[in-house]
Chains A and B, each alone.
Chain A
Amino acid sequence: MRVCQRCVSLLLSRPLSAVLQHSTRALHQRSHLTLLQHSTRHTLSQRHSRQTWRHFADHQAASPDVYNMIDLAQKEVVPLNSDVHRIDLDAAVHTSPLQEISEEEAVQIQVPSALPPESSTLRPYVDKSETLSKLVQLGVNLWKLEQRPNVGSMLVRLDFHADVAPRLLFLKDLGVEESKLGQLVTKNPFILTESLDNLEARVSYLKSKKFSKQSVAAMVSKAPYLLNFSVERLDNRLGFFQKQLGLSAEKARDIVTRLPKLLCGSLEPIKENLKVCELEFGFRGNEIQHIVTTVPKVLIANKRKLTQIFDFVHNTMDVPHSLVAKFPQVLNAKFIRIRERHLFLEYLGRAQYQPSQPNYISLDRLVFLPDDVFCSEVALATLEDFERFQKTL
């Protein structure tokens, strides 16, 4: 029994591709051969007199599907050839599956669990593979990962102690919380294949740019792909934000810490958004700076949605540029919400967005408050009234 368990661990430590080439039983038997050759003790009590390799052959003969195994044994083990042939003739008498075998032999027969050579899910391999079971215990959502092409096979091939563990420890040292590690790997499984030197180089680069330890940890948790990008790329982007937006180093650090996705995506959409803000909307330079430092998401927002919101706020609600620049949260909100609330206020006659007039409603309160607070404080109506109004739109 102990022997068989060792086989199983041998099975797991090899990459699955190797396993796929030989059947599991061949592996089982081969290891039996190597181990039995060295050991003198064996559990077959009846055939003491014969030599160990003959025992092995007999053992094989006694097992039910002997015909397959003997073929493979012949290929792999040369000295047994002649003996195997001789024994084969004898064994032919014993190989009927209806033949009664002794208790010890029955106990010896190990039915190895056949891992399917290919499967569309990782489920059959989870219990057997150490890597996969540790990942599941960590909280990695394997089901999501196996939907992505090739990620499943990559995960199965990883070795826990050589690949996965050092990187997880590295992330822990960085300051990423243990509970977040699962989510991180779910979003970015390729962090487990990135070389440790590269990861360390990038972290040291960020620290050299005066990002504090906590901010680096926060950035990595929020943007799991961050450490997969090269140092030049990170440098390029940080430089862009500082130059293009004209921000001080500290402000640039601030927006990057709050929205690390800025460092991950490409720069083209960001440049387009900036152009849109400047030319289409007509914001001045310092207004754009203020908007970006308050709501960095404007840089990566969808251009069309941004235009739609700004068009509604500026043209339909008659809010001037200065007010929009003062409350840039409005550009981040959902268009439907703004529209419904504005129409409701208009219906009630309370749509007053100029700070100089009485009953002024600031844009951030319009957008930020939850529905019930909005109804009671801003619109001075009940939630049912608001819903009834929504149904008339």
Chain B
Amino acid sequence: MHNYKSMKLMNFSEVTGPQFHKVHVGVGHRLDAFSSGVLVLGIGKGNGVLEHLCKSHVTRDYMLEGEFGKATDNFTHTGRVIEKTTYDHVTLDKLERVLAMIQGANQKALIMYSQVDLHTQEAYELAVRGLLYPHGKSPPILTGLRCIHFNPPHFTLEVQCVNETQKYLRKLIHEVGLELRTSAVCSGVRRTRDGPFKVENALTRQHWTAGSIIQAIAHFSKATRKIRKLEMYKQTAGQLNSNAQVQEQTRMCENLVKTYSKRLTSVIATKGYITKY
């Protein structure tokens, strides 16, 4: 296990310490403690790509679980109950009407914030292909919303959105309840996609080892390069990054299912130390 080329005692690992013990791990779009799902992390040089990801207006997919019949102070089923209501009058088509209304309002907001004049042909084509996105700062906007499962009092919504926070999504459930003249709380927020990073490729807890992480990094290297390239084209021509350099610098983001980045750092640090030999 020791490097026999230089048997000097002071080069032993017991004296110098592990080779890698400060791994910079950065988090992409945040996921609060109540939510679960895909969380993109960046390691080392990949943290720069994370920034580009944040700026690039990628949409995110969420599955929201809701429950009719009560309202709480923090919009979740674990909060302090403020009121209880009946929900027998709620049917699927009423729910879908409410969802359509919300989606319409969001579409208008999207068009307004994307700062295009919808009377032009290009704007129409962009809108048809779904390529409109808000420039600069904007409030959370839902680009897609539909009901997956309806079993009163429980229901599940699938949402695609931009610039959101999980609290906004829980509030959305509350507002859906209000529109239906009842009340609703959110019993779960789960992110299924963050830009190009989907839940199928996410690593579950058993796979939080150096080998699988390196595999995941390799798997997403194409996507990373794309993100970097997009950002590069956006910037002025002063940047000279050859393809080879981008490939080298790509140590990047990967998916985890729950927010345990501290544990991940320790895993990488210790495993990285062992694999050195």
Contact = CB atoms under 8 A, between A and B. Distances in A.
Interface of A: 121-124, 126-127, 133, 136-137, 139-144, 336, 371, 387, 390-393
Contacts of B205: 336, 390
Contact of A387 (B12, B17, B18, B204): B204
B10 A123 contact: yes
Given A123-B16, A141-B14, A136 B199 contact: no
Interface of B: 8-10, 12-18, 36, 190, 199, 202, 204-206, 257
8 contacts: A121-B15, A122-B15, A123-B16, A126-B9, A137-B9, A140-B14, A336-B205, A371-B206
B10 A126 contact: yes
Given A127-B9, A133-B9, A143 B14 contact: yes
Given A124-B10, A127-B8, A136-B12, A392 B190 contact: yes
A88 to B, nearest CB: 41
A139 to B, nearest CB: 7
Given A127-B10, A390-B257, A136 B15 contact: yes
Contact of B15 (A143, A336, A391, A393): A143
Contacts of B12: 136
B202 A391 contact: yes
Lowest 3 CB-CB distances: which A-B pairs, in order?
A143-B17, A141-B14, A126-B10
Contacts of B202: 391
A393 B17 CA distance: 39
Contacts of B16: 123, 143
B15 A142 contact: yes
B9 A391 contact: no
Contact of A391 (B8, B10, B14, B204): B204
B269 to A, nearest CB: 13
B190 A136 contact: no
Nearest to B8: A127
Given A121-B15, A391-B257, 9 more contacts: A123-B10, A136-B14, A139-B14, A140-B14, A141-B14, A144-B17, A390-B257, A391-B202, A391-B204
Contacts of A137: 9
Contacts of B18: 143
Between B8, B14, B190, the greatest number of chain A beta carbons within 10 A of the residue's beta carbon is seen for: B14
A65 B204 CA distance: 66
Contacts of A123: 10, 15-16
A387 B13 CA distance: 37
A91 B6 CA distance: 44
A141 B36 CA distance: 39
A137 B7 CA distance: 11
Contacts of B10: 123-124, 126-127
Nearest to A124: B10
B118 to A, nearest CB: 39
B11 to A, nearest CB: 9
Nearest to B192: A391
Contacts of A133: 9
Nearest to A137: B9
